[in-house]
Amino acid sequence: MPMSRTQVIAELTAPGQPYALETITVQGRQLRVFSQAPASLRALFASTASDLPFITYGDERLSFAQAWAGAARFGHLLVHRFGVKPGDRVAIAMRNYPEWVLAFTAITSVGAIAVAMNALWQAEELAYGLRDCGAVLLFADPERLDRLAGLIGPVALPGLQVIAVRSTGPVAGALNLADLLADLAAGQPSASGALTMPAVEIAPDDPATIFYTSGSTGHPKGVVSSHRNIISALLSWELDRAIGERMAGIDSASLPPPAVQPGTLLAVPLFHVTGSHAVYLSSYRAQRRMVCMHRWDPELAAGLIERDQLSSLVAPAAMTGDLVRIARSGKYQLGSLLMVGGGGAPRAPEQVRQIGASFGQALPNTGWGMTETNAIGAGIGGQDYLDRPASSGRCAQVLELKVVDELGEALPANERGELLVRGTSIFSGYWNRPEANASAFVDGWFRTGDVALIDDEGFVFIVDRIKDLIIRGGENIGCGQVEAALLLHPEVFEAAVYGVPDERLGEEVGATVHGSPTLEVEALREFLALHLARFEVPRYITLSADPLPRTPSGKILKREIKLTALAGQAQHGPAP
């Protein structure tokens, strides 16, 4: 007789099993933890340093062992050249270069906190993040260094040391990584052998990372996560996969090893948890090759999948939609794909069906998660997803989900309310933001700001948002931050920012602005480009000769403004 899902989960998580779960108390919270999980990210990296291929970037190749050895050299620089101590914040601001991975590995392996800076940020945002986290050291590529030109120094960013990555010449205020590594090699006697990672004690609940997330108002907030938070998310995905296989009658242990080493395409930025967790970090235990892209290009992506016979891709709906169109053209052979995953933003149900029909043997999967949950929450894939394309799946085994009404009371199945989550992968809090933490947590439950319902089978459906956020191609954009930038312009008197539906990206940024009669849309966009990342600059801007409508208490009627703007959107049109 087939086992039920509950029986399968009980069997897979029983004592002595690879995914055994036990309940422990961590900082006053009762948590379900994986008994056999690596104690830290350092332990994860060291235990998986095989000679199998790992990183591909252009013509560059690194095995898992070479990546670990390279990270050890970075670790020596951190500790012995720059004096980095456990708990210090070390920032990374660059594209998906191999050095991003080596820097992250080294930072977290010497007990410091890796701060993943959004590489799309402009100078003011980068400087804000560096000051906010109190970074003592920054790894940055030439593009980010150009943006920070004039800000690197003891006046603007006191106490910050800077390492220039992939720089072909000197950079004012920065040290060149290639020169630092050459000096390190020159100082090593050849008989001493390879450098090893500097020794340090790391506890599971020590902080490991800060990822910045856009809130509904004001500046982005730094999400602090521990080694246990992150590793619990990685093993949770593995457990979900094992549950799915067992339910499908697949005994993975008896299957022959694949003829080709599994490979994945890193098409999303590493400064998002989709890229860092679901693609990069989950590749270690899976011993999966990772082919890195500098930026998204659907034709190049299809060519890499075909050339390297990649088996998986995880990306937001806009990217996977691009790849569906490429696949349907028949120009590339993409039959090696076994899984096309999602993240960052929901897919349209039609795209879910198209994935199932466009890649030969590939099945779609997706999930709901946040930076604050370390990318896990609910997950769904295969036939379940094809049958329920609007769902985000069932709750992860190390988390709990509930839906509550406006008074905070739990709602029954199929009732809409705010989605709350608690459990082992939940972040410890926002960096230096006690007021944000106080409003974000209720009796240990994190308030997600998403409106959801959970059906009587446990499937989660995200139906709306409470927070004033726009999700553009997987990027969270805080409306308040864009409004603040608009109000910096001397000719802008009032501004309202909102999401505009977009077929490819899900949402685009729209704004209605009341300003002086001489205010021009294109001049305003040029001004905003100096203060916001390119993806945050409104694609649709409506100028209003009249003050924006408000409630009697003075609150701007954003919903009314949005509906009016959408009705007359063609008047100004999108940015070119």
Segment 216-245 mean pLDDT:
93
Asked whether the beta carbons of 342 and 367 are under 8 A apart, the reply is: yes
Task: Give the CA distances from residue 282 to residues 93, 287, 313, 382, in Å, rounded to whole numbers and listed in that order.
Answer: 21, 9, 13, 19
Burial of 411 (0-12, 13-18, 19+ CB in 10 A): middle
| 490-513 per-position pLDDT tens digit | 899 888 999 999 888 889 999 999
How high is the pLDDT of residue 503?
A: 84
- Looking at residue 66, what DSSP letter applies? H
Sorting pLDDT into bands at 50, 70 and 90, what band is 554?
low
β strands within 322-386, DSSP E:
339-341, 363-369, 377-381
Burial of 563 (0-12, 13-18, 19+ CB in 10 A): exposed
Tokens standing for 331? Answer: 């120009």
β-strand partners of 207: 226
Contacts of 466 (CB under 8 A, 6+ apart): 418, 449, 450, 451
For tokens 């608009």, the residue is 486
Asked whether the beta carbons of 461 and 392 are under 8 A apart, the reply is: yes
CA 42 – CA 347 distance, rounded (Å): 35
The top-level CATH class assigned to 469-571 is alpha beta
The top-level CATH class assigned to 41-202 is alpha beta
How high is the pLDDT of residue 338?
A: 93
β strands within 207-298, DSSP E:
207-213, 221-226, 263-266, 289-292
Length of the chain: 576
Sorting pLDDT into bands at 50, 70 and 90, what band is 571?
very low
Please determine, for residue 191, whether its predicted confidence score (pLDDT) is greater than 50.
no
Sorting pLDDT into bands at 50, 70 and 90, what band is 447?
very high
- Every domain of the chain with CATH number 3.40.50.980 lies at 41-202
Asked whether the beta carbons of 36 and 18 are under 8 A apart, the reply is: yes
In the chain, what is the greatest distance between 2 CA atoms, to the nearest angstrom?
78
CA 19 – CA 242 distance, rounded (Å): 9
Tokens standing for 216? Answer: 């509904």
Reference 291, options 71, 299, 300, 151; nearest CA is 300
Please determine, for residue 551, whether its predicted confidence score (pLDDT) is greater than 80.
no
| 253-297 per-position pLDDT tens digit | 777 888 889 999 999 999 999 999 999 999 999 999 999 999 999
Q: Which helix or strand (DSSP H or E) is residue 239 part of?
A: helix 227-247
Contacts of 371 (CB under 8 A, 6+ apart): 211, 213, 223, 272, 273, 427
Within 10 angstroms of residue 67's Cβ, the number of other Cβ atoms is: 21
Contacts of residues 359-365 at CB distance under 8 Å and 24 or more positions apart, as own/partner, are: 359/327, 359/334, 359/335, 360/334, 360/335, 361/335, 361/337, 362/334, 362/337, 362/338, 363/338, 363/339, 364/339, 364/340, 365/339, 365/340, 365/341
Of the listed ranges 27-36, 213-222, 235-244, the least confidently predicted one is 213-222
Reference 385, options 320, 332, 434, 471; nearest CA is 320
Asked whether the beta carbons of 248 and 240 are under 8 A apart, the reply is: no
- Looking at residue 426, what DSSP letter applies? S
Reference 522, options 536, 543, 507; nearest CA is 543
Phi, psi of 169 (to 5 degrees): -150, 180
β-strand partners of 263: 289
Beta strand 363-369 pairing with 339-341: parallel
Helix (H, G, I), strand (E, B) or coil at 25: strand
Please determine, for residue 119, whether its predicted confidence score (pLDDT) is greater than 80.
yes
Please determine, for residue 424, whether its predicted confidence score (pLDDT) is greater than 60.
yes
β-strand partners of 574: 540
Contacts of 375 (CB under 8 A, 6+ apart): 233, 273, 274, 277, 278, 343, 367, 369
C-alpha 318: how far from chain center? 15
**242-424+435-465 placed in CATH 3.40.50.300:** no
Radius of gyration for the chain, computed over Cα atoms and rounded to the nearest angstrom: 24
- Every domain of the chain with CATH number 3.40.50.12780 lies at 242-424+435-465
Tokens standing for 502? Answer: 């977009």
Segment 516-528 mean pLDDT:
93
- Every domain of the chain with CATH number 3.30.300.30 lies at 469-571
Q: Which helix or strand (DSSP H or E) is residue 240 part of?
A: helix 227-247
> How much is the mean pLDDT over the chain?
91
Within 10 angstroms of residue 187's Cβ, the number of other Cβ atoms is: 9
Sorting pLDDT into bands at 50, 70 and 90, what band is 574?
low
Asked whether the beta carbons of 397 and 32 are under 8 A apart, the reply is: yes
For tokens 């069932």, the residue is 394
Segment 518-547 mean pLDDT:
93
Asked whether the beta carbons of 175 and 198 are under 8 A apart, the reply is: no
